[in-house]
A = this chain, B = another copy of it.
Amino acid sequence: MEASIAEIAQRAGIGKGTVFRHFATKECLAAAIVSDRLDELAAIGRTLLDATDPGAALLEFMTAGVELQARDRAFCQAATTSVRRDPAVRAASDRLSQAAESLTEQARRQGAVRDDITGQDVILLLGAACQAAAPLGDTAADLWRRYLYLIFDGMRPEGAHPLPRPAPARARFDQAVDPSGPDQEPSAERC
């Protein structure tokens, strides 16, 4: 969000108006970039499904996810804003959750992680590790590794304590619709 539309258009060698022909809004442009990144991570997750050690694969998946985010802070920040409400980002986010769910289920079966952990949890905690290290900026380049490992320790079955709240049930394809109706955030306009 740092760059102005004028700069973006100039670097792309097109007029400002043409940018708005492709993306109705500056935020839609950001949303398109973010959902691309999410799909990138989902692809990595699907690859890791074939790994021999599911526990290690899950940790590797989370590591790849934070690395993706840590590479440019802009993406990390964008994920915090209202870009989340964009339909394309939501869809990509659900695809990512599904990949994470498969990985998590394998790890759960092996006893590598406690069994009250879902794929959604994994995605959210991966973001949390990134955000934990963010305040110190580039001072501590790979500090996120410390927090990812600590969080992963919390995901392990050894010494686990009961959690005060069930995992969030977001749109999952193998799940009936929540009878209490859609209590999600209002969707943004389609882009």
Binding site for B on A (CB under 8 A): 77, 79-81, 84, 93, 121, 124-125, 127-129, 131-140, 142-143, 145-147, 149-156, 158-161, 163-168, 170, 183-185
Contact = CB atoms under 8 A, between A and B. Distances in A.
A137 B80 contact: no
A92 B69 CA distance: 28
20 contacts: A77-B81, A79-B135, A80-B80, A80-B134, A121-B147, A124-B132, A124-B135, A124-B136, A125-B132, A125-B150, A128-B132, A136-B185, A138-B185, A139-B183, A140-B165, A146-B164, A146-B165, A152-B154, A153-B160, A156-B159
A168 to B, nearest CB: 5
Copies in the assembly, this chain: 2
A161 B157 CA distance: 13
Nearest to A76: B80
A185 B137 contact: yes
A129 B152 CA distance: 14
Q: Which of A84, A145, A151, A152 has the most CB of B within 10 A?
A: A151
Given A77-B81, A125-B147, A128-B151, 14 more contacts: A80-B131, A121-B150, A124-B132, A125-B132, A127-B132, A131-B132, A136-B170, A139-B183, A139-B185, A142-B165, A150-B163, A151-B151, A153-B159, A158-B158
Nearest to A77: B80
Contacts of A81: 77
Nearest to A157: B159
Given A81-B77, A139-B185, A145 B124 contact: no
